[in-house]
Structure 1
Amino acid sequence: MQQVSSQTDLEYAFLFNLKKVNSINTEGFRPFFNDLPVDPYIKGQYRFRRLSRFLVSGDKLIKLSHGYLFQSQAYNPLLGDVKREFAELDDALIELDIFKNLILAFSDSSKLHPEAEIGVHQIRTTCSPNNLGNPAPEGIHQDGTDFIGIFSVGRDNIQGGETHLYNAKKEKPVFNKILQPGELLLVNDHEFFHFTTPIKSQNPAPGTRDVFVLTSPSLISD
């Protein structure tokens, strides 16, 4: 586990933290990535996405009402100030113990307030021999939230997709790693910019990168 924390009076619990979530067998998630709707806000039809929001109550999840994702242009120069609406996560996925384990791992590791709202983005990025897939088309950025969790579900026939953290946009990354299935990267969004490099096929066939991205607050509004 990698952790950085240099301020004893830091308002938040950590700066960034990489951990393996041993209570999750990622194979249980894989079927739910095969029917994701295409992200209509990104050109090229290479990204697929669902989105829901939750509260944690003890060891239970409470699913909140449907809403739209909104970020200001200060944080997202590509799609800032745009109300984006995505299909909800599959009910059968939400009922899985491994899904609850993922949310609890994010909540517990981030030391979230009991009433904190969590947004869960289920994202597949695809590529082909002739087309790259771009997990972060907005470039090096912050999300405008407090905490971010990036959980790797699967990497099939791809190279690239390395996640970087930066103290500032024009500086060299202070962290860079290809996240492997089962790894969860927790990031204090106030302290770091983040980016994931494009993916390309490893051999002449389509490739996929599957992740959950969790945020708190959720950035979802009614």
Structure 2
Amino acid sequence: MSTSEFRPPYMPLTERDHALKERGFALLNAAETAQWLGADEADLARLHAIWDDLPSDDYMKDGGRYRRRRHSCFEVEGGAVTQVAHRAHWQPLQYNALHGGMQRWFEPMDEGVVASPVWKRLLAGVGAAATALHGARPWFVEAHPFRIDTTDGIGRPTPEGAHRDGVDLVAVFMVARHQIKGGESRVFEAEGPNGQRFTLREPWSLLLLDDARVIHESTPIQPMVDGEMGWRDTLVLTYRRGGFQGD
């Protein structure tokens, strides 16, 4: 695997909404993200602790053991954040050819985390970006804390390949990387030739995607040192108008 990397094209927070409208994606560094969401290092460190207690994803059709996750759902309207009853994660085959078309039940997120002020600010803040892009409305939000590790020697952050999620806005927080190489993010126009590739390394840097306009993927990860475990932690939030997929 090549060790060369493309640097993330970070932008000032003030350019976030314009970049989403013009290019279909926006990329904020950790400092800009923390400023936007009103979260300090202690807040984010407490939030990151939940990644050490993610159950295995038992739905992997490629036979992999490299993915751990939880899943919870919310409604966001303005600054109001409400957790909804636990439900299955469902995607149509159109958007996920590998795992679409089936109900996948994952363990919910920790109650203390989802009740915390920083979590509510985070969901409401990303909701403001969705509203700036698509107009004010209730947003139906699915939250996915992921850990992709090198249990199998290689881990695939997006085993379904380059894809869209069938929502209005996708937020991908790079939470942590530990002793890995790879994991390059790639964003391409859904209806055009242009694309960007870069490797996210800053904890709590953020990639925002207009799901209708771009497709995205992340390349596989490998351990930095053979025989030693490595992992990549991310938080993926999806915002959708009109209801959750599968309703």
TM-score, normalised relative to structure 2: 0.78
Q: Looking at secondary structure, tell me which structure has more strand per residue.
A: 1
Distance 1:114 1:171, change over 3 A: closer
Aligned 8 A contact 2:55 2:68 in 1: yes
Question: What aligned pairs does 1:1-222 form with structure 2 within 5 A after superposition?
Answer: 1-2=10-11, 15-19=24-28, 20-22=32-34, 23-24=38-39, 25=41, 26-42=44-60, 43-111=63-131, 113-128=136-151, 131-168=153-190, 171=193, 173-203=195-225, 204-217=227-240, 219-221=244-246
Instruction: Point out where structure 1 has 5 or more consecutive residues left out of the alignment.
Output: none
Distance 1:173 1:14, change over 3 A: closer
Identity over aligned residues, as a percent?
A: 29
After TM superposition, give the deviation of residue 39 of structure 1 in Å: 0.6
Amino acid of the structure 2 residue aligned with 1:146: D
Aligned 8 A contact 1:14 1:110 in 2: no
Q: Map Cα deviations across residues 38-80 of structure 1 (whole Å, 9 max, x no partner).
A: 1111122110111111123553421001111111111111011
Q: Map Cα deviations across residues 146-174 of structure 1 (whole Å, 9 max, x no partner).
A: 11000111111111111110114995633
Select between 72-81 and 55-64 the one with higher mean Cα deviation.
Answer: 55-64
Select between 71-80 and 15-24 the one with higher mean Cα deviation.
Answer: 15-24
After TM superposition, give the deviation of residue 29 of structure 1 in Å: 2.0
Q: Looking at secondary structure, tell me which structure has more helix per residue.
A: 2
Distance 1:14 1:67, change over 3 A: farther
Name the CA distance, whole Å, in 2 between partners of 1:219 and 1:208. Answer: 30
Amino acid of the structure 2 residue aligned with 1:125: I
Q: Map Cα deviations across residues 132-153 of structure 1 (whole Å, 9 max, x no partner).
A: 1100000011111111000111
Aligned 8 A contact 2:77 2:127 in 1: no
- The alignment's C-alpha RMSD in Å is 2.7
TM-score, normalised relative to structure 1: 0.87
Q: Map Cα deviations across residues 178-205 of structure 1 (whole Å, 9 max, x no partner).
A: 2521111110000001000111111241
Count of aligned pairs between the two proteins: 218
Name the CA distance, whole Å, in 1 between partners of 2:17 and 2:52. Answer: 38
Name the CA distance, whole Å, in 2 between partners of 1:159 and 1:185. Answer: 19
Distance 1:199 1:102, change over 3 A: same
